[in-house]
Amino acid sequence: MASSPRKIPFFEYPRLYLDEKKEIMSIFDEISSRGAFILQKDVTEFEENLSKYTGANYAIGVGNATDGLEIAWMALKIKPGDEIICCSHTMLATASAIKIAGGSPIPVELGYDNLIDPKAVEDAITSNTVGIMPTQLNGRTCNMEEIMQIADKYKLFVVEDAAQALGSKFKGKHAGTFGNASAISFYPAKVLGCFGDGGGLLTNEYDLFDKMYQLHDHGRDKNGEQKSWGRNSRLDNIQAAIINYKLKKYDLVIERRRQVAKIYNDLLEDVKELKLPPSPDSDSNHFDVYQNYEIEAENRNELKKHLNSAGIGTLIQWGGKGIHQWENLGLGKCLPKVENFFDKCIMLPMNIFISDEDIFYICEQIKIFYSN
């Protein structure tokens, strides 16, 4: 086959650095020259910035979002036998945070927008249920009104896996600010990525903040006083400084991602073999930041091959399985909607590195595939 005219990788990690080399180098230089590596003013500023940006009362920088979610459940003191309901269409990290903190993850079905189905949550409640853990997936916030109503009715904790959802909103309120606590990820390929692992924990409740703070810093409280047993999961000061820098122009990043999604939706809406994610302007209740642009496609594996030979990178995420489908992990049951979804899902390139012309080319290639 002739070599393809374009190369559009799914994600280009080096560009996180190369596109802003001067600014990033000056951050490294400034922090390192100060010797400011652990819990310095940059982390404090990050925590203030994140709390101001999302509207959460408290924010804590942590090593990564998975640690953050685990710390949240530990602070809520879940114990063996406690059941926490999550969606099977999520990263395994959602369930492992529950498991490692001592509880039992109970995976349920997805709804019309591929996020957790509130009806399935209510149906899964038993006398052992203590919490709900919705994932704000692909940069979209669940219908948190319905989730919080269920939580209030049955007196359940809510910890949001908002790893993918910084800046995403439901009815004007930020992902990560609805439940008792939430975690956001700054993994490099996330909407806001740092230069390694990084995460943020959010809560509106002072007592929970105090407990989570201790858990993340050897049992010490905000004033450095030894209060309890803890672990170490702090956000590196250098990562905090990079996130502070990137937050300043974060709204532009979101705007561009929404634009990319809109172009995809407009160009692909007539392709009957595809099911597209909701368009950015389809529903005024949701403000999506498009961590991913994930479609469902007929003949998915062949489409992936076709796009690959046309130079276009795509991704079938998480090993192509819902979390209940990892039989060796023992969450096994039958969730047909999730299983059907994983037979069809594929992610198209979604990032600020691709141009409008790249998107035109990708959509053209998809149309060529289905017209044959």
Ligand X SMILES: *Cc1c(COP(=O)(O)O)cnc(C)c1O
Residues in touch with ligand X (CB under 6 A): 64-66, 90-91, 93-94, 135, 161, 163-164, 185, 187, 197, 199
* Chain centroid, CA 327 distance in Å: 24
The answer to whether residues 322 and 107 touch, using CB atoms and an 8 Å cutoff, is yes
- Sheet architecture: strand order including 181-185: 58-62, 199-203, 181-185, 157-161, 129-133, 83-87, 104-108
The nearest distance, CB 98 to ligand X, in angstroms, is 12
* Chain centroid, CA 365 distance in Å: 28
CA separation for the pair 261, 305 (Å, rounded): 22
Q: Which is nearer to ligand X, 51 or 90 (CB)?
A: 90
Q: Which is nearer to ligand X, 4 or 96 (CB)?
A: 96
The beta strands (E) that lie in 7-97 are given as 58-62, 83-87
* 211 half-sphere exposure, CB direction, 13 A CA radius: 16
Beta bridge partners of 286: 170
The nearest distance, CB 310 to ligand X, in angstroms, is 27
In Å, how far are 45, 99, 138, 345 from 196, measured between CA atoms?
19, 24, 20, 27
Residue whose entry in the numeric block shows the structure tokens 């634009």:
259
| 246 membership: H or E segment, kind and range | helix 237-247
Q: Which is nearer to ligand X, 88 or 135 (CB)?
A: 135
CA separation for the pair 247, 2 (Å, rounded): 42
